[in-house]
Structure 1
């Protein structure tokens, strides 16, 4: 286990316990530690999570041998977990079993589920890689029974990619979309009205080396496309990271935080989560969940450096990486999402999501003892039960307005929500509720076809505001209404499943007199309504500043070179397999043509130019002019121990899968070393991390840190296109053995020329 490389950690707290039912009163002191699936399942790749209408959270994962440590050799098909608090989970079944697995799967493994709630049913979309398609199963409850709905994609799908890693998204106009794709393109298409098939044109919105795992949310007018790239599943050598692009349209173009189009033939920035040098490697393939305070959380998998691999299956054919489920706080800073303000995946105790309420409840205890009725039609509230909600309340309608409000009070800075269903009239979420004459209410008004908010002070409305609901909106099915009041700014959203894909959003200012401590409840007017999961919690405090990015210390002239000599590099530089043909010093630069040679596993034929590194922590930087055009040409810097143990940051050209000859210009951050879980330890190369966008002239950095406590070398990469603004990559680690030296390479395929302006080394 290792420590982060100059990244900040979070405080220490205790792991919470699973309640018998979703608790109704907040204590604000919950804590957790990753992985949240420890002791429950051995692995849970590609997780996606939803809050069920019964008040629990449910997570769905890729087919894997989840109970290997308990002696089960086989796999569970799309396993399901359940939690009352998002941190303590229990096994809740699987989508498919031998009894109900559809024959059309033709024996394929099933990957990467996506879960949604629509028309009072749960939709689980899943990848069928053996058929190169996406399937759908639906159920009335989060755990089934599941009905096979067949394939979602036509054949061919119209997307020039692997047809896996799907995610559904519904826009504020009610238009549903499906995103999918892998190796190396992500596509989007509209869906039919019942969300069972795509229809119409298919649009490519992103491409990149091993880009996959797309997941879209909408926030503050932007559509954010989360995705993962590089290698997901190679144990301690997995370079997976979560990245993001944003757009003003669900069809793109999506750009990263440097304005680079996700369709550009280069690596991308806007890194949301990557390895930091602590226990967690290859974080990726995320889902998304919002707690009861309004704080967003990334749900994703990671690989423990001290326990990276599952045992091979008894038949010897299935060798999988162990990828347990992690959750961490997702912060939105300057319009971009980032995990824990940039601190990355957490290790150790952390403040837990808010999953209990300051006021309200889920109506699952068979009583209305903590609620009281108000209004002219107060007498109509009744408890009801069904398999979807367990318990909820109904009102038959009639004359006047009825309120059912909590005894408890929530603070003035509040997030309130309710699940509402409208047969006739209007159903509302009331909050900051003092009495029937003093409250704020958000109505689903069937007669007006709108989300309507009203602020009532002293028995008088201070102005309604209406936002149309989409054509075809199903009032008679469950919808979630969420209201956040921060100061005097009110934001309301209507969605089916709390997945940041609202079908209606409204913002307005309210009078200061209305922004007060109060109860939360449900309201009925003019017809039959139903409500569930009605509650409020203190609104989260957003994190607004990132963890400081790494900076370099003073220049170390003795370990730097401006290449202002002539001829071949001399002392203190030395060659491995050199001098390289054509490498010359002139005009303040080292010019070095790429070689038809490699530095990879047993194929160690490339020249390497080396010099000693300084003692202690340091950063080495080079400015390189390099405009390669053919696949696999690369040049860059190394921290080199020997041919089988090194770290590399290079500008590389890599082919685009299904690209018809197109190539990608990539910032490729790799390592080579022995895999500790092989006997004897065998040298392997990584599935690399990919850094920021490339340019013909760019700056490359490798920052070294010695973790003496764990005898480990930690190296973080960074890239820049102007020498000032840096994209900081993740961290690779290797056990410390021999000394590392600073190196340069220009290799793999002849035909390009690398020009190094300098090598500068800084003390950290």
Structure 2
């Protein structure tokens, strides 16, 4: 059950039911000077969509964003803007990947060109930047989108386009009809091979192998996620699994943007990917476990993520979002303002959790541990490291200063604990080891990169294990090596750039050190060892506080209905005209109506509504439909509604979206004189689906959170929308958005 058990809410019956102190002598954990508050690019970029992040070999962190103006009122887009930071909190704009005169030669520079969704990688000594080119000269058509790639000797450039698409425009049966070849993500598999993932709603997500240069695909593509649900793929490898993070719903609906991130996992890059309930991301009733969704604070539309890992091994998710009070960069209805956010990401039962399940933060947060005592990129010096006198400092364009051992030497720093993480960038033919050791008693754990045998070795106590590095491992290029000791487990890996795609991993039991004493960590090198970006830090032992499960309260029988009569109970208000439904066999049977509540007025559709008790309540229904699977039934749906008026409501439905069946939680509202609609996606539906909306007050607002279940026992929490608390609401049922379907409701329950 894992994450489901941790985050599940209380199931119902089939019918309505009545940190420790630092040891003396230890170095304090390294942190920036203070906490951070989202958005992290405040004062640098008002919008920075689709962020991708890397730690450069020079010790700086670099982020890359979609081409937009960076600031309100600027007007002119930056072609893939680049910002950098030492601490992931204070950022500076350092340039753009392209200018108007250096755009890819195969990009159609006519109005409408966009360079979107960059993905940054470091492979075999060069930086590789992948991106969407929305208009190309490959065909005479418009919107013939493709994936491009550029290389650079440093993270800031200069960037040189490869000269042709990596993934060319994919025609789909007629002039001007192209599958959406968007949102590239490139990873390295354990055998050293390169793979690209790309795609979007129109066409689905696909993966294909790349040649070693990363410029061309070398085999057929494999679809890994169904069309009409996902985009913005991001793959990472953890504990033997590939995790596919993918965004879903509308990225850019201004004040009603419900963009969010869901996840599935697989043993292979080519799938099959399944969610926490074992449901495939290729299924018509599509799987996907929500990992990042709006929670009722200022941030909505939380999506298109990347991941990074700080120097203590803590993962963080970076993504864009929209401030619901300031949704556009300039004029209403124009460019959506999507700044970059960052939040802590943990793994619970094998599944990712953002901020303990709370979602995006808007308050002061503890920052990532990436700078300070116990870490150095060599250019900042390492005089406080024991053994520093035995190393020579050299420099180059990419990494800046780096260290070379002319004879066997070490660089060690006190960690204060055997629970520690050591990292270093390593290159060359000399054997280099990372170690965590006790100052007394002989306890030690080491990870050795041995180029002469092309192996990674891990030694813990009397145990030793090793794994071969992939064929063609480029010893002359920088690689990141990690050694981590937590409890009685030692872990080591090698990757190109700490981006969650290691080419070698090892794990061993590590005997717990006995007694008390000082501990240190660092690098032990042989003659010729070449290192940079060294860190040796204790791993904080902070308990993870998970969001508590939903508590239903007691049933309000006077506002509930189990449809046991022979007609619709007169306590219901029939809004928008008589409801064309019947009560039969203990169910409300309601043919889907042609109208849709979305849009000005009531859309010619009807609702069943009733009052709710105050601000804190939960409403629930169980429904079955005849939508089937795989066929197009746009956009037939049935579900719950919280109704303040025909243009101010939220709707939670099991809906047919082309070939998929999804649980959508949407809102319609007016903002800045415009009527806006947008939705977010909850958990996978079933042939029978259970839906809940929970209401609570926060200040002057009513927070409305969606839940769904496909078995009545395991519930998935979705997004939160808000309505003014002063606006009276009613709750009820609907069946609409396309004639010809049938929805059967087993009950309607209100808890308070």
TM-score, normalised on structure 2? 0.89
Question: How far apart, in 2, do the equivalents of 1:412 and 1:345 lie?
Answer: 33
The partner residue of 1:174 within 181, 184, 192 is 192
Q: Which residue of 2 aligns with 1:721?
A: 710
Which moved further from structure 2: 586-595 or 341-350?
A: 586-595
Which moved further from structure 2: 412-421 or 209-218?
A: 209-218
Deviation for aligned residue 1:125: 0.7
Q: Using a 3 Å threshold, how does the CA distance of structure 1 residues 580 and 510 change in structure 2: closer, same or farther?
A: closer
Q: Which residue of 2 aligns with 1:646?
A: 649
Q: Which residue of 2 aligns with 1:761?
A: 750
Question: How far apart, in 2, do the equivalents of 1:636 and 1:690 lie?
Answer: 14
Deviation for aligned residue 1:29: 6.9
Cα shift readout 1:533-589 (whole Å, capped 9, x = no counterpart): 11211114365563122121000011111111113x1321121233233x1112211
Q: Using a 3 Å threshold, how does the CA distance of structure 1 residues 511 and 580 change in structure 2: closer, same or farther?
A: closer
Question: How far apart, in 1, do the equivalents of 2:574 and 2:179 lie?
Answer: 42
Give SS of 2:525's match: strand
Q: What does 1:237-636 align with in structure 2 at a 5 Å threshold?
A: 237-312=256-331, 319-365=334-380, 369-373=383-387, 381-396=391-406, 402-406=408-412, 408-422=414-428, 424-432=429-437, 434=439, 439-455=444-460, 462-513=462-513, 517-525=518-526, 528-541=528-541, 543=543, 546-567=546-567, 569-581=568-580, 583-602=581-600, 604-629=603-628, 630-636=633-639
Question: How far apart, in 2, do the equivalents of 1:331 and 1:371 lie?
Answer: 31
Q: Using a 3 Å threshold, how does the CA distance of structure 1 residues 488 and 720 change in structure 2: closer, same or farther?
A: closer
Question: How far apart, in 2, do the equivalents of 1:363 and 1:737 lie?
Answer: 59
Deviation for aligned residue 1:425: 3.4
Unaligned runs of 5+ in 1: 1-6, 8-22, 457-461, 656-662
Question: How far apart, in 1, do the equivalents of 2:32 and 2:147 lie?
Answer: 40
Aligned 8 A contact 1:633 1:752 in 2:
yes
Deviation for aligned residue 1:631: 1.9
Q: Which residue of 1 aligns with 2:208?
A: 189
Question: How far apart, in 2, do the equivalents of 1:463 and 1:555 lie?
Answer: 59
Aligned 8 A contact 1:30 1:354 in 2:
no
Q: Which residue of 2 aligns with 1:34?
A: 38
Question: How far apart, in 1, do the equivalents of 2:46 and 2:327 lie?
Answer: 11
Cα shift readout 1:579-608 (whole Å, capped 9, x = no counterpart): 233x11122111111122222213610111
Cα shift readout 1:341-361 (whole Å, capped 9, x = no counterpart): 101101110111111354342
Q: What does 1:698-737 align with in structure 2 at a 5 Å threshold?
A: 698-707=689-698, 709=699, 711-737=700-726
Aligned 8 A contact 1:403 1:521 in 2:
no
Question: How far apart, in 2, do the equivalents of 1:324 and 1:565 lie?
Answer: 53
Which moved further from structure 2: 599-608 or 277-286?
A: 599-608
Give SS of 1:236's match: helix
Which moved further from structure 2: 212-221 or 540-549?
A: 540-549
Question: How far apart, in 2, do the equivalents of 1:541 and 1:62 lie?
Answer: 37
Aligned 8 A contact 1:418 1:534 in 2:
yes
Question: How far apart, in 1, do the equivalents of 2:685 and 2:612 lie?
Answer: 26
Question: How far apart, in 2, do the equivalents of 1:130 and 1:637 lie?
Answer: 41
Question: How far apart, in 1, do the equivalents of 2:221 and 2:540 lie?
Answer: 38
Deviation for aligned residue 1:615: 2.0
Aligned 8 A contact 2:640 2:653 in 1:
yes
Q: Determine if the alignment matches structure 1 residue 143 to structure 2 residue 141.
A: no
Which moved further from structure 2: 187-196 or 288-297?
A: 187-196
Q: Using a 3 Å threshold, how does the CA distance of structure 1 residues 464 and 611 change in structure 2: closer, same or farther?
A: closer
Q: Which residue of 1 aligns with 2:670?
A: 674
Give SS of 1:505's match: strand
Q: Using a 3 Å threshold, how does the CA distance of structure 1 residues 158 and 605 change in structure 2: closer, same or farther?
A: closer
Aligned 8 A contact 1:32 1:349 in 2:
yes
The partner residue of 1:692 within 658, 671, 683 is 683
Which moved further from structure 2: 251-260 or 583-592?
A: 583-592
Q: Determine if the alignment matches structure 1 residue 61 to structure 2 residue 65.
A: yes
Deviation for aligned residue 1:737: 4.9
Aligned 8 A contact 1:287 1:299 in 2:
yes
Question: How far apart, in 2, do the equivalents of 1:158 and 1:521 lie?
Answer: 53
Q: Which residue of 2 aligns with 1:20?
A: none
Q: Determine if the alignment matches structure 1 residue 72 to structure 2 residue 91.
A: no
Q: Using a 3 Å threshold, how does the CA distance of structure 1 residues 181 and 436 change in structure 2: closer, same or farther?
A: farther
Count of matched residue pairs: 704
Question: How far apart, in 1, do the equivalents of 2:485 and 2:556 lie?
Answer: 53
Aligned 8 A contact 1:161 1:186 in 2:
no
Q: Which residue of 2 aligns with 1:750?
A: 739
Alignment RMSD: 2.4
TM-score, normalised on structure 1? 0.88
Question: How far apart, in 1, do the equivalents of 2:379 and 2:434 lie?
Answer: 19
Q: Which residue of 2 aligns with 1:18?
A: none
Q: Determine if the alignment matches structure 1 residue 116 to structure 2 residue 117.
A: no
Deviation for aligned residue 1:40: 1.3
